[in-house]
Amino acid sequence: MPDVGGSSDVFGLDGSGGDESPLPRGDASSGDASQDGRADSEDNSDSRSDDAFSHPDSHSDVGLGCHQAPCAGRTYRCGDCMDNDGDGLVDDRDPGCLGPCDDTEDVYDIGIGDTATCLVDCYFDQDQGPGNDGCTYNQSCDPLAPGTPRCPYRSDLPPGRSCHRVEDRCGSVCGPLVPNGCDCFGCCEIPGGSGNFVYLGSTPVDGAPPCGPESVHNPMSCRPCTPVRLPGCFNSCERCELCLGRRELPPDCLSSAHPDGGATFDGRSRDATPSSDSWPSPRCPRGEQPCGLPSDPPCPPNGFCVTGCCVILL
């Protein structure tokens, strides 16, 4: 895939190149989340005045310790404290929920925020842009063509043009919402550590089921993709991290000797450890509260568990 880093001159961004047909988003055709009292998303455009972490002054305590988790002031299915797909799992406990800005619990297509072009921005917030998150990508640049059929691969990248732009603000606006093993545009390694990268918003072909936890190894459902491995956009899946498709950890990652469980490793303080190679990577390197395992405490009322780490909704 052509890669010229953070160039501001993204292929198709000014209308001079790229396929302007709508980018497919699985089976979600309208992005309407108004049923069952949920917020109507018809104005999911790039005109938002706040980011995906905005929410009312307090969360509602619903059910057994569940707190609603709004996305930009709206409550979607993955933040409503309800088991919407009938699998016995609610919101961030459901493997089909990618974050609070996800209106589907059973598939990886988040069901909101369709974009009218092949240009996309942060996959995991309430709109897919492009233009307001500091990250922009033309999906027609990927030789694996994850945007097929509407956004097939195009090899005619004009000289001096880039396929993507990732600014510093992408890391703060989109970064906390990106699950372990994913880039900010929805290309994820599932299960973590497998090398199997698929586009979460794939359009199923030939009657295949939608892309989701049960169909992730079916390329007719979840199309292969090339991740954008740029700082602020790509969140790798490390050995001691929960990731999409990985819901258990090696025993040593959970022992009292691990940085998340105690202050020593092999009898040494963490500060005295000479090499990071001899210390298992922490479950939440940015210092978030670990979550997602039966032994973990729940996230606070203003938090949402994203692949093993509590993201605080400011």
Q: Does residue 60 carry a pLDDT above 80? A: no
How far from the centroid of its chain's Cα atoms is residue 33's Cα?
A: 19
Q: Of 192-206, 222-236, 282-296, where does mean pLDDT reach its minimum? A: 282-296
Q: What's the pLDDT band for 81 if we cut at 50, 70, 90?
A: very high
Q: What pLDDT, on the 0 to 100 scale, is given for residue 308? A: 93
Scanning the chain, the segments in alpha helix (DSSP H) are 168-173
* pLDDT tops 70 at residue 291: yes
For the range 36-45, what are the long-range contacts, defined as Cβ-Cβ under 8 Å and sequence gap of 24 or more?
Answer: 38/74, 38/75, 38/76, 38/77, 38/80, 38/103, 39/73, 39/74, 39/75, 39/76, 41/74, 41/103, 41/112, 41/113, 41/126, 44/112, 44/113, 44/114, 44/126, 44/127, 45/127
pLDDT in tens, 149-186: 888 898 887 776 778 888 888 888 899 899 999 999 99
131: exposed, middle or buried (Cβ count in 10 Å: 0-12, 13-18, 19+) = middle
Residue 256, pLDDT score: 52
pLDDT of residue 30: 32
Residue 1 has pLDDT above 70, yes or no: no
The residue written with tokens 């199923």 in the block is 204
Q: Which candidate, 238, 247, 235, places its Cα nearest to that of 282? A: 238
pTM of the model: 0.75
3-state secondary structure of 187: strand
Mean pLDDT computed over 4-29: 40
pLDDT at 131: 65
Q: Which residues contact 236 (CB under 8 A, 6 or more apart)?
A: 180, 181
Region 81-89 average pLDDT? 92
Q: Which of 313, 295, 296 is nearest to 304 (CA)?
A: 313
Helices (H) and strands (E) in the chain, counts: 1, 11
More confident site: 115 or 9: 115
Question: Rounded mean pLDDT of the chain?
Answer: 74
Q: Which two tokens stand for residue 308?
A: 């093993």
pLDDT given for residue 234 in this prediction: 95
Indicate the range of 69-73, 213-217, 238-242 predicted with least confidence: 69-73
The pLDDT tens digits of the residues spanning 121-151 come to: 899 988 776 667 888 888 889 999 898 888 8
CB atoms within 10 A of CB 87: 14
CA distance 113 to 127: 4
**Residue 185 has what pLDDT?**
93
Q: What is the pLDDT of residues 179-215, one digit of tens each?
A: 999 999 999 999 999 999 999 999 999 889 999 999 9
